[in-house]
Structure 1
Amino acid sequence: MTEASILFLRACLAVLASPIYLLSFLGIWEPFCKKVFFPFFLEKFFAIHEKKTNKPKQELFRNLPDFKSPSGELKLLEIGTGCGANFQFYPPGCKVTCTDINPDFQQGLSKSMDKNKHVHYERFLVAPGEDLHQVPSGSVDAVVGTWVLCSVHSVNGTLKEVLRVLRPGGAFYFLEHVAADRSSWKHFWQQVWYPTWKLVFNGCCLTREIWNNLEQANFSELNLRHITIALPWMPVQPHIIGYAVK
Structure 2
Amino acid sequence: MNSVTSTDATTPATDFEVHAARGPFNAAFFSVMGPNLEWNLRRHKRRVFADLPRTVVELGSGVGANLRYLPTGSTLVAVEPNPHMHRRLRAAADRAGVRLDLRERGAERTGLPDHSADTVISSLVLCTVREPAEVLAEVRRILRPGGTFRFVEHVAARPGTPTRWLQRALRRPWSWTFEGCSCERDLAAAVRAAGFARVAVEPFRLHTPFVPFNTQIAGVAYA
Q: Residue in 2 aligned with 1:219?
A: 196
Matched, 1:32 2:21: yes
1:146 to partner: Cα distance: 0.5
> Are residue 112 (structure 1) and residue 92 (structure 2) matched?
yes
- Which residue identity is paired with 1:129? A
Which string of whole-angstrom CA distances, capped at 9 and with x for unpartnered residues, describes residues 197-239 of structure 1?
1111111111111111011011001111001122124311000
Alignment check: 8 A CA contact 2:57 2:120 kept: yes
Aligned to 2:167: 190
Q: Percent identity?
A: 28
In the alignment, is residue 98 of structure 1 matched against residue 78 of structure 2? Answer: yes
Residue identity in the other structure for 2:104? V
Question: Structure 2 CA distance, aligned partners of 1:198 and 1:212?
Answer: 21
Look up the SS of the partner of 2:114 in the other structure: coil
Cα distance in structure 1, aligned partners of 2:129 and 2:87:
22
Secondary structure at 1:131 match in 2: coil
Match of 1:130 among 104, 108, 122: 108
Query: TM-score when scaled to structure 2?
Result: 0.88
The yes-or-no answer on 1:77 pairing with 2:75 is no
Change (3 A) 1:233 1:170: closer
For the pair shown, the structure with the greater C-alpha radius of gyration is 1
Give me the whole-angstrom Cα distance separating, in 2, the residues matched to 1:63 and 1:224.
18
Which residue among 34, 55, 67 is the counterpart of 2:43?
Answer: 55
Give the corresponding residue for 1:16: none
The aligned amino acid for 2:106 is P
Gaps of 5+ in 1: 1-23, 66-73
2:27 maps to a residue whose letter is P
Q: What is the CA distance between 1:31 and its match in structure 2?
A: 2.2
Q: Say which SS state the counterpart of residue 86 (structure 1) adopts.
A: helix
> Deviations 1:117-137 (Å, cap 9, x if unpaired)?
1x333x1001111111x2111
Given the alignment of the two structures, is residue 241 of structure 1 paired with residue 218 of structure 2, yes or no? yes
Could you tell me which of 176, 181, 187 is aligned with 1:204? 181
